[in-house]
A and B are shown apart, each in its own frame.
Chain A
Amino acid sequence: MRYQVSHITRYSYEAPVSSCHSELRLAPRVTPHQKVWRRSVSVRPKPERIDEREDYFGNIVHRFALFDSHSSLEVHSESIVEVQARPLPLPRSTASWEQVRDAVRAARSGSLFEAIEFTGESPFAVGAVEIELYARDSLAPGRSLLDAVLELNARIHRDFKYKPSSTTIDTTPSEVFKTRRGVCQDFAHLMIAMLRPVGIPVRYVSGYLRSGASYTGAEASHAWVSVFVPEAGWVDLDPTNNVVPEQGHVTVAWGRDYGDVTPVKGVTLGGGEQKIDVEVRVIPATS
């Protein structure tokens, strides 16, 4: 499936900003299931240069700075992306979650070693006893990992209510667990906080949903998780929609949690209060 993606972020400031340093993680990365045909990032006011590099996780980062006084900032990322379907092994046929845990713990090379990174606690996905207990119901001894996480995906979708603006970036998984509501990034962090304490590698994925579909969380940045299943590699799970992402999800970046993949980061001098306005469009493109 080929998409034309457009993501505009606009900031308008109450007071002039005299300088701004910013990092963007807005360009979709290439994955085994995703081709990127074209991509571009533009900024207004126009900076003297925009640098591009890959970060620790292999995400594409753009970086710019502004030193002329300005009262608004607009960042526009556009791309043409092709998403392919990915075959999933039979859920019950994969290794048990304990086997995966032990294999990762013992690994010293290859993709298993790289997965270790995603078994530890990270700043935005702090665990808690009650969250672990909730997860335990799906992690019966010897149960196949894929089977278990599919169930967790469904349970989060069932037990937690999607409610826009009910949380902020700083809401912890514990709070979300207590209030039983949140948005996509909360559910992703929650699922991470369920799996990492038992040693299962899981990462946070930022991206988009196809516009106009019946998904929850479209027309904005979206987030889901990806679990390491040795037989299949990283398997995406979207607890907000209780689906295994196929051709309707465009991947932008991944990391341990939101902090690693924040789409627009920036530090300004001046500015005061700011208003933010976001527009995301992901529409099928003719090839």
Chain B
Amino acid sequence: MPGGWLEPPGRRRRRRRAFSGPAGTIGWHNGCRILSFWMARRIRQAATAEQRRDSPEAQDPYVAPAGHYDEFLAAPGIPRRHWRKLTATMSRLGAERFGRRWQQALQLIQANGISYNVYGDPQGSGRPWPLDPIPLVIPAEEWNSIESAVAQRAHVLNAVLNDFLGEQQLLKQSGFPPDLVFRNPAFFRPFHRLPAPGGSEGSGPRLIHYAADLARSPDGRWWVIADRAQAPSGPGYALENRLVSAQMLPEAFQAARVRRLARYFQSYREGLLSLARTGRDQPRVVLLTPGPFNETYFEHAYLAKYLGFPLVEGGDLSVRDNRVYLKTLSGLSRVDVILRRQDDTFCDPLELRGDSLLGVPGLVGAIRAGEVAVANGLGSGMLESPANMAFLPAYCRELTGGGLALPSLATWWCGQDEARRYVLNNLKHLVIKPAFPRIGQSPVFGAALSADERAKLALAIERRPEDYVGQETMALSSAPAWNGHGVEARHVVLRVFAAWSGSNYEVMPGGLTRVAGSGDSLVVNMQRGGGSKDTWILSDHDEEPIPLMPSTPQKVNTSRGADLPSRVADNLYWLGRYMERVETDARLARALMPALSGECDLGGAIAVEAAVQLMAAYGHLPKELGDTHPLEQRRWLEKALAAMLFEGNRPGGLLWTAKQISRLGWQLRERLSTDTSRLLGRLEKEFQRNRKPPSGRLMAEMPELDHAVQTLSAFNGMAMENMTRGYSWRFLDIGRRLERASQTASLLRHGIAAGPAGPYLETLLQVADSTMTYRSRYYTAMQTDLVLDLLLNDEANPRSIAFQLETLAGHWKRLPEREARERYPVDARTIWELLTSVRMAPVEQLSEDSPEAREELNELLTGIEDKLTVLSDTLAVKYLSHAALAGRLGAV
């Protein structure tokens, strides 16, 4: 079995002499055994005859596949010069130490929570970011020409977009096919004549961020295989990859004089600030994300944090009088520039896509009025259509008088007769793509089709030629990649980024190299299991170092978090409530479960009759059951508890609530520590892991419930210990306190006010987690008045209603003030009224074993629950109001 490693040629030869041992046992130069590794058959076959002779089936260094350009090897066994430093380091480390360093780096990736969402992945969102530890190295000279070529391309594409959305001279004067604009489904008519973000109408840059996917052909030339002009993803991942690779291979990184990325991100940031047209002192830029379910959400959150811009979703923004505002806890706050990571057609449900409610209603109006700049300018998605690619060289000649410095992959648009004929005659060698892609369409490789399928495709092209392009296929270059044991060759594609800096296009001296998922895959796609690499551009001179991470915070938040988006506060509030709810339910189930064993006289377990009555009071069981035989009651009780624990789709059920928690945890993950969000994810899994047990085996679930309760306690502990006491924590805690007060009130109502309380007292204390408190305080048997006192108005007991109200009152005082015109002043009085009614409650009198006393208690507790509901609603209206569902006016 072959193994591989990167080494300078000289050393390899030496080693060969030293370790010409038996096949399969040839070791590393320092004596370590080379770990064998799998290598794709086609790559093995590609090895030249000489190599095969040279290296028996034993160890073999990195082998480049034949028929492709290899980034590392100039010829078999001869590495290219610019890999020297990296190879030296890797050679010195050896595969084993390299592997160990990589393990540490992987932990860093885990800890940073770097992830990439894969659509339709049953594992849900957030697969760890697949990074390959061996960077792609590009020498200075070669890079200089790529750099200027990518900047040129950005200029040309920008000019094309400005023309398409303005005068359309390219169609009228230069004679380009009008279909390129009018048939392009990405051309939403409201985009036409919108002011460009970078200047007044028609002029100035519209394409603020651009990325080109580059591939290298066997002759060593770079080609552009795709243009990313919508909202190019990747710069954040490139940044993150750099942090990992520079940390993992510091020696090589220093020695090779790798160009730094920091300056690019400075320009990126300044470029966005320069777009503000409002003339305000400190323009506010926000990063608009479609939300946590987007494939690159991690990057949105990461970039937002790095650049110091708030991360917002459509619902966080509101357009009033054509101005855009961010809805925060302290009110509306003006937004000047929006960095959109959402497709342009989804940006405004009022004027754009009618089938979606994503985005910000009225945003197009605000852009039209010049009150906000959106980058990239709306309409830039038009540039991504393969049909445009066919014409880019011609556009370039028309607009600049010269050619493209970097060629595009040859593309033929079938809407033109000659091109169509060529495509039909060469179907076998081309890849056929939709000229104007819609979701769900994918390219077809002519070579992979049967004669029958090809004939069908030809017919489809004849029928609607303008919907297709044919494109040359290309043999991608290969580069060394780590496969877990050694290196092997994998195909790579390089994404290069350009950003408008305010005066020109700056190109990132680096990029996101994407690598095929396996040695023999020709498809390089993150969605299909590929990975990425850092890209090292070598410098021909020493660079002044700029720290990648700013040493001082870029933006000091003077408002102490009052600009927390209302949506986030809303999510935190509900997270707090659901956490508490699931805890109470789990405790209730745990307290009632022993009744199933029938050993009611042992260890204070609740009698089955009492358990049934309590469940009936909660509405989980019919009341009439009280009169049936205990065995019958047991059966019902088990059924009810099982339903409570395992029926996930019933709103209010334990699993349902756990699912809500996991959903909220996901949406809040950029606000919570990695440990915390991992805990939240675990909670759902703990409930989901187990199927409903067979009848009579429910008791076996006790350990699961214990786990759940422990997880919740761990989360609460973390929140208390790790969250700063800002508004985030406050809303989480408000949710929790409000829910706990309400749950305890309902517990007391069902347990004490519904009938003689004797049999439940122990259970009540268990559910409210106050058994120990009771015992240590009273040393006596259960007494209704003492239990009621402990759970209702003992302000020292962190489980009592009074304690929750006291805490809520404290929070309320510190919530931000809203403008005077608010028509729903928060009624802090409600809390004080509640607190007073609890403090004044005549506990002894209410605890008497009489219907009148129970009636009175019932009234008190119902009153508390009602007022808490009012409180929750007031809070929602004042701070969280936009959480309402969006709708659309019906058609007539």
> Residues on A close to B: CB < 8 A?
9, 11, 17-23, 48-49, 51, 53, 55-57, 63, 65, 67, 73, 108-109, 113, 116-117, 119-121, 168-169, 220-221, 255, 259-260, 262-272, 274, 276, 278
**Assembled-state Cα–Cα distance A278/B891 (Å):** 11
8 A Cβ contacts from B158-172 to A: 171-172
**Are A121 and B889 closer than 8 Å at their CB atoms?**
no
Contacts beyond the supplied A267-B887, A272-B887, A274-B889: 15 A-B pairs with Cβ under 8 Å: A11-B890, A18-B882, A21-B319, A23-B350, A56-B189, A56-B192, A65-B320, A168-B891, A264-B889, A266-B889, A268-B887, A269-B882, A269-B886, A270-B884, A276-B892
**Assembled-state Cα–Cα distance A259/B345 (Å):** 14
Give A6 Cβ to nearest chain B Cβ, in Å: 15
**Assembled-state Cα–Cα distance A49/B172 (Å):** 39
Residues of B within 8 A of A270 (CB): 884-885, 887
Find the residue from A63, A117, A269 having the highest chain B CB count within 10 A. Answer: A269
Residues of B within 8 A of A260 (CB): 189
**Assembled-state Cα–Cα distance A276/B882 (Å):** 24
**Are B888 and A266 closer than 8 Å at their CB atoms?**
yes
Interface presence of B881 (CB below 8 A) = yes
A-B CB proximity, top 3 nearest: A266-B889, A21-B361, A56-B189
8 A Cβ contacts from B276-327 to A: 318-322
Q: List 30 A-B contacts (CB under 8 A).
A: A17-B887, A18-B884, A20-B889, A21-B319, A22-B350, A53-B368, A56-B189, A57-B189, A65-B320, A108-B172, A109-B172, A116-B182, A120-B182, A121-B183, A169-B891, A220-B892, A221-B892, A255-B189, A263-B892, A264-B891, A265-B354, A266-B350, A266-B889, A267-B357, A267-B887, A268-B889, A269-B885, A270-B884, A271-B887, A274-B889
Known: A113-B172, A269-B882. A23 touches B189 (CB 8 A): no
Interface presence of B79 (CB below 8 A) = no
Give B414 Cβ to nearest chain A Cβ, in Å: 15
Find the residue from A11, A255, A266, A272 having the highest chain B CB count within 10 A. Answer: A266
**Assembled-state Cα–Cα distance A19/B325 (Å):** 14
**Assembled-state Cα–Cα distance A79/B245 (Å):** 69
8 A Cβ contacts from B711-735 to A: none
Residues of A within 8 A of B220 (CB): none
Known: A267-B350, A267-B887. A49 touches B892 (CB 8 A): no
**CB-nearest residue of chain B relative to A9?**
B892
Give B738 Cβ to nearest chain A Cβ, in Å: 22
Residues of A within 8 A of B124 (CB): none
Interface string of B332-368 (1 = CB under 8 A from A): 0000000000000000011100100100011001001
**CB-nearest residue of chain A relative to B193?**
A56
Interface presence of B178 (CB below 8 A) = yes
Question: Which of A56, A63, A73, A113 is within 8 Å of B365, CB to CB?
Answer: A63
Q: Is the interface of B mostly helix, strand, loop or mixed?
A: loop
**Assembled-state Cα–Cα distance A18/B881 (Å):** 8
Residues of A within 8 A of B886 (CB): 267-269
Find the residue from B318, B319, B368, B884 having the highest chain A CB count within 10 A. Answer: B884
**Are A55 and B887 closer than 8 Å at their CB atoms?**
no
Known: A18-B884, A55-B189, A113-B178. A274 touches B890 (CB 8 A): yes
Residues of A within 8 A of B322 (CB): 51
Residues of A within 8 A of B891 (CB): 168-169, 262, 264
**Assembled-state Cα–Cα distance A11/B888 (Å):** 11
Interface Cβ pair total, 8 Å cutoff: 100
Interface presence of B398 (CB below 8 A) = no
Give B353 Cβ to nearest chain A Cβ, in Å: 9
**Assembled-state Cα–Cα distance A255/B362 (Å):** 21
**CB-nearest residue of chain B relative to A118?**
B182
Residues of B within 8 A of A259 (CB): 354
**CB-nearest residue of chain A relative to B369?**
A51
Residues of B within 8 A of A108 (CB): 171-173, 175
Known: A113-B172, A272-B887. A264 touches B892 (CB 8 A): yes
**Assembled-state Cα–Cα distance A269/B888 (Å):** 9
Residues of A within 8 A of B190 (CB): 55-56
Give B179 Cβ to nearest chain A Cβ, in Å: 7
**Are B889 and A265 closer than 8 Å at their CB atoms?**
yes
**Are A23 and B888 closer than 8 Å at their CB atoms?**
no
**Are B892 and A278 closer than 8 Å at their CB atoms?**
yes
**Are A267 and B890 closer than 8 Å at their CB atoms?**
no
Give A259 Cβ to nearest chain B Cβ, in Å: 6
**Are B183 and A268 closer than 8 Å at their CB atoms?**
no
8 A Cβ contacts from B871-891 to A: 881-882, 884-891
Interface string of B134-172 (1 = CB under 8 A from A): 000000000000000000000000000000000000011
Give A113 Cβ to nearest chain B Cβ, in Å: 7
